[in-house]
Structure 1
Amino acid sequence: MSRLTPPKTIAGKPVGPVGYGLMTLTLFGGIPYDEAIKPMKAALENGATFWNAGTFYGPPNANSLQLLKHYFTKYPEDASRVVLSIKGAYDGATQMPQASPEHIRASVDECLAVLDGVKSIDLFEPARIDPKVPVETSVKALVELVKAGKIGSYGLSEVNAQTIRRAHALYPPAAVEVEFSLFSRHALDKGGIVDTCRELSIPLVGYSPLDRGWLTGQFKTLDDIPKDDFRHFYPRFQPGNFENNVKLAEAVEQVAKKKGNTSAQVAIAWVQQQGVLPIPGSTKVPRVLENTKSVELTEAESAELENALSKATVSGARYPEMFQAHLNQ
């Protein structure tokens, strides 16, 4: 199989081989900012220079933006080291995309107001395609913001190959973000997202490379998931699906044990090998250190993973039904 490497630059700036997703630091609340910045600092010091944030990762007054303001106020010297991607133009209360020119401009202005000059926006992405707004209309608004100096570049999230081509024809995106892991391989379909981005030389960013914890090896039974955990709402963690997915997760774990690494490290290395930049997120420094460790898969290990995947099908959709209409659009 082909062995690729993740993009080395995004938005014209160098990025490390692993990025960092900030979602869990604020989405569910409860983590004091002085604690939350510890894994952020660890990620940066271990080469995760591409950070992925969201205006809807938490309430309007306590999401990624406020945390980033706190971090870069404490560490102003790190602003030039981080390539910051922010997803916005999305109503977290209704879970609806809002990618009209007016909403995009308002979302970017909100980000800039909260950040208050401590960090520039290197990449801004409408979090989902707005079904009421042609992608060309959204892109035109984003390009205007680039030319005005409010954002460094724009990206796309949860889009299909056709949408990527339409956007690129107007103005090339600096990156495309897609869910991508050993459990979520839809982007590899022939002529699909990965093939299109390679053809058009668009960097690919893979979120949820550990499939919401499935590929960490920590789930063996349903009792391993805390009662109030959000994963109880996700199809792959439902009874019936859960038991089937454990078998595939254990196959990854077997490869990892023989290699002397963790399941997470093997899963992240697989994403990198597809030419995609993985952006795992974690609230704990030890997990960040684990996720940013450099690991390379041999051809035999890659073949073993592919063999296991060919014999088992992941059970359950990526998201609950209420979110599915806005995926892969």
Structure 2
Amino acid sequence: MSKQIIISGKPVGPKIDLPTAASIMKTALEQGATFWNGGMFYGTPEYNSLHVLKYYFTQYPEDADKVTLSIKGAFDPKSYQPTGSPAAIRADVERALQILAGTKKIDVFEMARVDPKVPIEESVQALAELVQEGKIGGVGLSEVSAASIRRAAKVARIEAVEIELSLFTTDPLSNGILAACEDLDIPVVAYSPVGRGFLTGQIRKLEDMAADDGRRHWPRYQADVFDQNFKLVAAVEEIAQRKQVPLASVAIAWSRQQGSKIIALPGASKAKQVVQNCTVVELSDEELREMDRLLKSMPVAGGRYPGMLEDQLNG
């Protein structure tokens, strides 16, 4: 099984302890997590996950060739809008390369969202030209529809498609995204396999989240739907208890077993979490059928993203 970690799914800032972060990343590599994912908008233009990556590969230059690095960009964090024009994509790639300063090549560069103002063929062609120039290793897509995937694949080889896939977000099973990736032999990077923390068992009531926790603004964590959504958590937790494994491990396994080339993308901020996430758990056919029955009887309430962010999905 391929393993992957997310370098930072949350904004990073100057207060991040770089030696601690590097130690956790080293643990991930030692556990076999060789596909790493970061974003230029995970933080600020002056300090984001690429700066953390630069620090790591400066400390451990021998690890650069051991890691496949996927970077998301072509997205303006100030306006929260995708920037898919060829000029904007090229500028973002150049900026990413400048930050990394030769410590690590970019193996895959992903458009974080599809820009509705730019035909996807133009965006992908720009990325394909950057591949030809040796600036990046391959083309990636994120949050794209099945139709967009098929259009993009006619322009260039797509090395990865990153989508949200979890027991809380099963849309790719029915909207054609997984089918398109299977047809085109494209690996799927499944982010948020633990439902943004819901499927870790650590959040059992609204009060378990700090007052400043950003998830309090997200649709599935609202008071009017929280109890409904927690029913699914409790039901899957029973399966985890029978298997004597962590709830998160069952959730990750479910996402991974939804296709032949799916890489689950759980975030982690502690070495213990990394080790747990990298421990492979297999679900039996009967367990998978049981979980399918749970999904049908306990539908998840609320959208995936708040406000205009929901409008940017599956372009």
TM-score (norm 1): 0.93
Change (3 A) 1:86 1:71: same
Equivalences for residues 251-266 of structure 1 within 5 A: 251-266=235-250
Partner of 1:207: 191
> How many pairs align?
313
Partner SS state of residue 66, structure 2 = coil
- Check whether the contact 1:25–1:283 (CA below 8 A) recurs between aligned residues: no
Q: Distance in 2 between matches of 1:113 and 1:31?
A: 21
Partner SS state of residue 19, structure 1 = strand
Q: 1:221 aligns with which of 202, 205, 208?
A: 205
Shift of 1:26: 4.2
Partner of 2:288: 302
- Check whether the contact 1:136–1:167 (CA below 8 A) recurs between aligned residues: yes
Equivalences for residues 23-38 of structure 1 within 5 A: 23-24=8-9, 26-27=11-12, 30-38=15-23
Q: Distance in 1 between matches of 2:156 and 2:10?
A: 33
Partner SS state of residue 318, structure 1 = coil
TM-score (norm 2): 0.97
Partner SS state of residue 303, structure 2 = coil
**5+ residue gaps in structure 2?**
none
Partner of 2:270: 284
Equivalences for residues 175-254 of structure 1 within 5 A: 175-189=160-174, 192-254=176-238
Q: Distance in 1 between matches of 2:140 and 2:306?
A: 24
The amino acid of 2:2's aligned partner reads P
Change (3 A) 1:204 1:120: same
Equivalences for residues 93-108 of structure 1 within 5 A: 93-108=78-93
Shift of 1:78: 0.7
Q: 2:48 aligns with which of 63, 78, 83?
A: 63
- Check whether the contact 2:121–2:152 (CA below 8 A) recurs between aligned residues: yes
- Check whether the contact 1:123–1:152 (CA below 8 A) recurs between aligned residues: yes
Identity %: 49
Q: Distance in 2 between matches of 1:165 and 1:54?
A: 24
Partner of 2:305: 319
Q: 1:92 aligns with which of 59, 77, 93?
A: 77
Q: 1:293 aligns with which of 259, 262, 279?
A: 279
| Alignment RMSD | 1.2
The amino acid of 1:315's aligned partner reads A
Partner SS state of residue 78, structure 2 = coil
Q: Distance in 2 between matches of 1:28 and 1:286?
A: 22
Partner SS state of residue 174, structure 1 = strand
Shift of 1:233: 1.1
